[in-house]
């Protein structure tokens, strides 16, 4: 695994040196009982700190929901025509999206195959990984398969000129046709991700990509991409705290509007401001900056 590791307690050991006992030159942390006591104190302080932060997030939620309702009132959403299959077998959707009958049929076959692999291989593997640690869980598991129409929207977008992809190739390139979310307490988040990446790898899944966006003011979390080796089916695993998952869900409609084309400059500015306000309240997990993007970007010089 390509994640930099920080062994449990390393930061505590560095901060404790060069403590001694009774002037005898014996390091405090060399004594197992005193080391355990210091660790308990350290974890109690951290748990208290993040408990206060979680309380702050809970207090902020009603105001954030109210702010979103005000934005919806100020910028009512435009009604969209439902995606549909035409009598000739083609598929059409909002935003001038279209698949011809052959492309639509290709995607239907591909989606069937993706879901078959998902049910028979990927889901059992994810459930097995989940069972290895009861301190966190898969959230929103019932939504692990992206909707068929949303997949077709993504395929249609990828087929726009100058693309030379086939519909099947465009579908295979979508990283989140199958997707999962692990949720942790803040204090267990960073080490929990490292452990779960290792567990997924040990299950035979190919680790393709990791993006750490905890420094972003628009989205807090870590997103990873994986591939089931035999079928080549790609899937996404997001890693969230309960607060960052709340923030993602609260700002989801704002994200969708920003992703669309109908929002004008003033609305887009307010939508981005709302996402920034929401994510600015999310407690940052300890040591999360030590998880680097993968593949790592090459540095010039």
pLDDT in tens, 13-49: 333 333 333 343 434 455 667 756 655 655 555 555 5
pLDDT of residue 12: 29
DSSP E strands: which ranges in the chain?
A: 84-85, 91-93, 97-99, 137-138, 179-184, 206-212, 222-227, 234-241
Two tokens, residue 63: 């105001």
Using alpha carbons, select from 112, 122, 110, 120 the residue that is nearest to residue 235.
122
- Strands of the sheet with 97-99, listed across from one edge: 84-85, 91-93, 97-99
The answer to whether the CB of 99 falls within 8 A of the CB of 91 is yes
Residues paired with residue 11 on neighbouring β-strands, in sequence order: none
pLDDT of residue 43: 54
Looking at per-residue pLDDT, the higher value among 243 and 4 belongs to 243
Read off the pLDDT of each residue in 122-139 and give the average, rounded to a whole number: 97
- The answer on pLDDT for 300 being more than 60 is no
Separation between Cα atoms, residue 83 and residue 156, nearest integer Å: 12
Separation between Cα atoms, residue 252 and residue 258, nearest integer Å: 10
pLDDT of residue 19: 37
Separation between Cα atoms, residue 98 and residue 121, nearest integer Å: 31
Residue 236's SS3 state is strand
pLDDT of residue 42: 53
Q: Are strands 206-212 and 97-99 parallel, antiparallel or unpaired?
A: unpaired
pLDDT of residue 169: 97
Instruction: Look over the chain and give the mean of its residue pLDDT values, rounded to a whole number.
Output: 86
Taking only the tens place, the pLDDT of each residue in 77-129 is: 877 889 999 999 999 998 899 999 999 999 999 999 999 999 999 999 999 99
Residue 233's SS3 state is coil
Separation between Cα atoms, residue 205 and residue 173, nearest integer Å: 17
Which sequence spans correspond to the domains of the chain?
Answer: 77-290
Task: List C-alpha distances in Å: 193 to 159, 168, 187.
Answer: 35, 32, 12
Name the least confident of 168-172, 231-235, 255-259.
255-259
Looking at per-residue pLDDT, the higher value among 170 and 15 belongs to 170
pLDDT of residue 8: 37
- The answer on pLDDT for 225 being more than 80 is yes
- The answer on pLDDT for 298 being more than 90 is no
- The answer on pLDDT for 10 being more than 90 is no
Q: To which H or E segment does residue 146 belong?
A: none
Taking only the tens place, the pLDDT of each residue in 194-208 is: 999 999 999 999 999
CATH class of 77-290: alpha beta
pLDDT confidence tier of residue 52, bands split at 50, 70 and 90: low
Whether the upstream peptide bond of residue 201 has omega within 30° of 0, thus cis, is: no
> Virtual CA dihedral for 63, 66, 72, 75, nearest 10 degrees?
-60
């Amino acid at each position: 695994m390509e994640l930099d590791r920080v062994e449990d307690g390393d930061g505590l050991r560095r901060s404790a040196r060069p403590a001694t006992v009774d002037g005898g030159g014996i390091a405090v942390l060399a004594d197992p009982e005193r080391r355990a006591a210091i660790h308990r104190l350290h974890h109690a302080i951290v748990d208290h700190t993040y408990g206060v932060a979680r309380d702050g997030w809970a207090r902020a939620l009603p105001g954030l929901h109210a702010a979103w309702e005000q934005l919806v009132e100020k910028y009512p959403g435009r009604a969209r025509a439902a995606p549909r299959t035409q009598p000739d077998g083609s598929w059409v959707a909002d935003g001038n999206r279209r698949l011809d009958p052959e492309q639509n049929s290709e995607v239907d076959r591909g989606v069937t195959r993706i879901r078959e692999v998902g049910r028979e291989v990927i889901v059992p593997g994810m459930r097995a990984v989940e069972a290895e640690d009861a301190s966190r869980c898969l959230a929103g598991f019932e939504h692990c398969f992206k909707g068929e129409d949303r997949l077709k929207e993504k395929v249609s977008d990828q087929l726009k000129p100058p693309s030379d992809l086939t519909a099947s190739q465009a579908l295979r390139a979508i990283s989140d046709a199958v997707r999962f979310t692990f949720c942790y307490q803040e204090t267990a988040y960073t080490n929990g991700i490292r452990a779960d990446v290792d567990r997924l790898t040990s299950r035979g899944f190919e680790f393709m990509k990791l993006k750490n966006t905890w420094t972003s003011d628009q989205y807090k979390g870590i997103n990873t991409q994986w591939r089931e080796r035999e079928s080549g089916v790609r899937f996404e695993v997001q890693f969230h705290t309960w607060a960052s998952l709340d923030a993602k869900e609260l700002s989801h409609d704002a994200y969708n509007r920003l992703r669309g084309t109908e929002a004008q400059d003033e609305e887009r500015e307010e939508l981005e401001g709302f996402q920034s306000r929401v994510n600015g309240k999310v407690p940052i997990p300890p040591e999360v900056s030590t998880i680097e993007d993968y593949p790592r970007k090459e540095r010039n010089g």
